[in-house]
Structure 1
């Protein structure tokens, strides 16, 4: 029988302490899910605050309108999650060595986040917001980036010939990352 958890708060627990099932409108505060197995759990309209999910197993997890605020997400393979209604909202969160290969990320919102070594290869980010993020060593190849908000980002490097950029938003300072492959010397 599937357990259903509605409007509950979980504070400072580990993955071993987290019950299985579906979580709706739940809050997870300062939880340590590092190296834990969260597979198969469904998170709907949930909020994770100052949690660490580094290297957690998220096979067949469902993140529907899930918010991460001040969290640490390292080594996560989001493409192993259920794709239906997948939607993440990230604030002041660090993603490192995560993959979103081939995913529909049109509902992705990441503001003031560190997205280091994140692989977005083949992802559909049309209309997504990455405003104010540090995109150090993140990979964008074969992506639909039409209408994506890259304003105020740092360390963005992508090849316009390998991605769709129609209608994407950039700050003047961020345009240099589109020209990196041409090895131009840009001066003020």
Structure 2
């Protein structure tokens, strides 16, 4: 196990990341592109300005992990271990990421790009989408109860196809709930 270590500007695509557990580590400006993270464990770790494009995540454990300003294009979080799975995202690009069928209540997304992200059949209860771009994001049979969308934009959510009791929206976000009806709403 590697504990309390700071990794800076490491290229793990070229130099393999040690197959071990990481606890309370910080990874800054690191490249994880095309890395096989399958089965690895990260607990209370912080990733800042890291690139995970093409990384494999089968069985990866992410326990209380923070991603800040990271590139997570197409990241398959749905393949991660669901044991104590908990993470947060700030200023990340999560385009095409998959959270399909995950139970990730109270997740916080802040200033993230979530274009075409897949949240289908996920339990997102009490999640916060703070100033996020959700164009093309997929919400199908998703638990969005008590979820906060008030400052996010470009989402399209069918209330008849998702659980939404207590979800919060701004007046500007209401058209995203009516898109299936083909209405033209003007202010």
The TM-score range, normalised by the shorter chain, is: over 0.9
SS in 2 for 1:43: strand
TM-score, normalised via structure 1 length? 0.96
Where do 5+ consecutive residues of structure 1 fail to align? none
Q: Is the 8 A contact 2:61 2:80 kept in 1?
A: yes
Aligned to 2:53: 54
Q: Is the 8 A contact 2:16 2:35 kept in 1?
A: no
Kindly tell me the number of residue pairs found equivalent between the two proteins.
Answer: 185
SS in 1 for 2:22: strand
Residues 1:10 and 2:7 are matched in the alignment: yes
SS in 2 for 1:72: coil
Aligned-pair Cα RMSD in Å: 0.9
Q: CA deviation at 1:151?
A: 1.2
Aligned to 1:114: 113
Q: Is the 8 A contact 1:40 1:61 kept in 2?
A: yes
CA distance in 2, matches of 1:105, 1:170: 20
CA distance in 1, matches of 2:115, 2:70: 14
Q: CA deviation at 1:107?
A: 3.2
Q: Is the 8 A contact 1:90 1:110 kept in 2?
A: yes
Aligned to 2:148: 149
CA distance in 2, matches of 1:107, 1:33: 26
SS in 1 for 2:2: strand
CA distance in 1, matches of 2:77, 2:28: 21
